[in-house]
Amino acid sequence: MQDLLYFLQQLINGLTIGSTYALIAIGYTMVYGIIGMINFAHGEIYMIGAYTALIAITGLAALGIAWLPLILIVALVCAMIVSSSMGWAVERVAYRPVRGRHRLIPLISAIGMSIFLQNYVHLAQGSRNIGFPALIEGGFRFGSADSFQTSISYMQITIFITTLICMTLLSLFISRSRIGRACRAVSQDLGMASLLGIDTNRIISATFVIGAALAAVAGLLLGMYYGSIDPLFGFIAGLKAFTAAVLGGIGSIPGAMLGGLILGVAESMTSGYLSGEYKDVVSFGLLILILLFKPTGLLGKPEVEKI
Amino acid sequence: MAAHNLKHALFCAIITLIIAYPILGFNLVASGTNIILEGATTQTVISVLLAAVVVFLFQLFRDNIMALLGKAPALNPLANRQPMEQSRRLKLESTILTLIIIGALIWPFFVSRGSVDLATLVLIYIMLALGLNVVVGLAGLLDLGYVAFYAVGAYTFALLSQYYGVSFWFALPIGALLAATFGLVLGFPVLRLRGDYLAIVTLGFGEIIRILLNNMTSLTGGPNGIGGIPDPTLFGMEFGRRVKEEGNTSFHETFGIAYSSEHKIIFLYLIALVLAVITALVIRRLMRMPVGRAWEALREDEIAARSLGLSRTSVKLSAFTIGAFFAGFAGTVFASKQGFISPESFVFLESAIVLAIVVLGGMGSQLGVILAAIAVTILPELAREFSEYRMLIFGAAMVLMMVWRPQGLMPMRRIHIELEKQE
């Protein structure tokens, strides 16, 4: 019974982290699906989302507003607006001019952008950890009081629900809306879509904006969950999310969701049963293994090399 | 058109405000357990507004400005010149290189200790960049975990000297060979991957090495690192004031000169110089050998190269291993120069800096890479008040380089024939 409760606890923690990874991974997978590049600066956009959310929360607190739902919604909207604008601008400045060149060129440009954004926030806000107030406290506990208790906090429930809402909205958007249909067309065949009258530049911008907005949601949620943020925390999270995207099959949106959850659970199991220090080793090791043995991921389509 | 431009310009200006104002305009300040928000200085706010205005004006008159800029390359008379004749260029290059090397040999005896120390660091970066140039510039394999091999070299020396008392000269080949072995072992499975996947896998590998170094506390000392790494000796002569090891003599006593701590620094500089020159010469040779041609052929067109009978794996593997070898070289020198190493020295940013050097210098071009290594290491030292902006400028420079001049500042030039346009 004890063991089962402990296992359940790790599972819950893993799914919590995993669902935020999935939110970030969407940005990677959509961009990759459409223009075939790794948006290296995506982790930084997520970090900027977290900073904006924190600025909005402290700003509202300074104004004396204490009604929790209002604070959360305002922080979320602010973070989404700033991150989306950032995503749009990054695509415009760093990626559009180099689109269609040799594969390495957009990638190096993206690394440059990532370093730039990291240092932009570092210079503006300092390099220290900043505490993120825990706005949502408390939770449920299971199990007898004298032994190990499985707990699930309200924060974790919030993360699940928010992720679920975002994913549902995204799926509806992609499958039903006009832009979503255009997105799917562009990702199948960019040239053909353009011939058929789709403004591909706009669709590519839209993908960056959507990915960035979801990353901002993840930024707010993870910031609250971890309780502190710093300018470098986007880098590792971005890498993890990329792993999740590859795991699920890059280019596939359901794949990114699945990959995020699997990665989150794998990580929390490692820290629960082995040691917390090695969880990054496990996720990078997982990434290397997938790329070696199944580069198309779990739900991805095989890529044909054309001459 | 004008109305469209105006709308677009307004949109861009607003986006600029949105991305700049919240982050720059408010400062999060920790006071006790709470965080409070402070407005930034008026100066910052004004510059953010100014930036928005600049973006607005630029986008509004974008077409005119671009037309003006389009004429600019005509001002550069060298832009379209033919590459020099092969034999003449070789002669010129070797003369310049010899002069530079002679200058570099004499120079440290006349300048301050700090600048010699900095020059040693520059040489280490030159070695790293030349090694990475083989992997990225010549073979076209984007390696983002290059710093891992550098770490292998440095830690090999540190551990060997700590546990077995091995000296610098023995550790140098061992460190380099071990790094090369790591490159071989890692490269074998991953080199089948496509370009951008390879980049991510090498990045993951670099992080794994760093995390392992950080956590294997009993062996590597974890985050505390390893100290007391010995200095190199000159034929058994030590450079310290007192001889540390039995049987060694000290440099200043042998030659009967007064002890000076500068001797050691100059000696290290000279070692780094010799190793950097060896690195440059070896790679220069390799570039002209069939294997070097194969690297470039594979970079230019993988399918064509394979159909001509080049083995993809062995060609890529050779580039990867050789790159790793020189990183190990540089790592050993670095460990010896610092006397102390910790995982902090081997973060992803180091890989990015070396990559930036290769990209700025012009992928594939040795002279360009050397000049870029000097510029990237020395410029931040010269402009100390801007040193905190160093990485910001780095990132921006990488993006701008890729957008405007992806071939780098001094691209590799080849004799080639261009078909003249038919009228």
Per residue of chain B (423 residues), give pLDDT as tens: 567 778 888 888 888 888 888 888 787 777 766 777 777 778 888 888 888 888 888 888 877 777 777 766 555 555 555 556 667 777 887 788 788 888 888 877 777 777 888 888 899 999 999 999 999 888 888 888 899 999 999 999 988 888 887 888 888 899 999 999 999 988 888 777 776 778 888 888 888 888 888 888 787 777 787 877 777 777 666 666 666 665 666 666 666 666 667 777 888 888 889 899 899 889 888 888 898 889 888 888 888 888 888 888 888 899 999 999 999 989 999 998 888 888 888 888 888 889 888 888 877 788 888 888 888 888 777 766 777 787 888 888 888 888 888 777 777 666 566 677 665
Say whether A130 and B35 touch across the interface (CB within 8 A): yes
Say whether B37 and A58 touch across the interface (CB within 8 A): yes
State the architecture of B102-404 in CATH terms: Orthogonal Bundle (1.10)
* List of chain A residues whose C-beta atoms are within 8 Å of the C-beta of residue B359: 108
Cα of B19 vs its chain's centroid, Å: 30
The C-alpha of B45 sits at a distance from chain A's nearest C-alpha, in angstroms, of 12
**Residues 6 or more apart from A200 whose CB is under 8 A from it?**
A186, A190, A193, A194
Q: Are strands B237-238 and B249-250 parallel, antiparallel or unpaired?
A: parallel
**B200: closest CA among B348, B334, B321, B347?**
B348
Q: Point out the residue among A54, A111, A280 whose CB comes nearest to the CB of B398.
A: A111
Tell me whether B389 touches chain A (CB under 8 Å). yes
Tell me whether B315 touches chain A (CB under 8 Å). no
Tell me whether B20 touches chain A (CB under 8 Å). no
**A94: closest CA among A39, A44, A27, A49?**
A39
A228 by DSSP, 3-state: which? strand
The C-alpha of A121 sits at a distance from chain B's nearest C-alpha, in angstroms, of 7
* Mutation target vs B (from A109, A122, A247, A290; most B CBs, 10 A cutoff): A109
Q: Where are the alpha helices (DSSP H) in B289-347?
A: 290-300, 302-307, 312-338
Tell me whether B395 touches chain A (CB under 8 Å). yes
* Number of cross-chain residue pairs from A and B with Cβ atoms under 8 Å apart: 179
CA dist., res. B108 & res. B270, Å (int): 9
Question: Angle at which helices A104-125 and B390-404 pack, to 10 degrees?
Answer: 150
* List of chain A residues whose C-beta atoms are within 8 Å of the C-beta of residue B22: 52, 55-56, 78, 82
Residue A163 near residue A26, CB atoms below 8 Å? no
Q: How far is CA B412 from CA A24, A87, B137, in A?
A: 39, 34, 10
**B414: closest CA among B77, B78, B84?**
B84
The C-alpha of B278 sits at a distance from chain A's nearest C-alpha, in angstroms, of 29
Tell me the per-residue pLDDT of A214-265, one tens digit each, with 9 for 90 and over.
Answer: 999 999 998 888 888 888 888 888 888 888 888 888 878 888 889 999 999 9
* Mutation target vs A (from B205, B393, B402; most A CBs, 10 A cutoff): B402
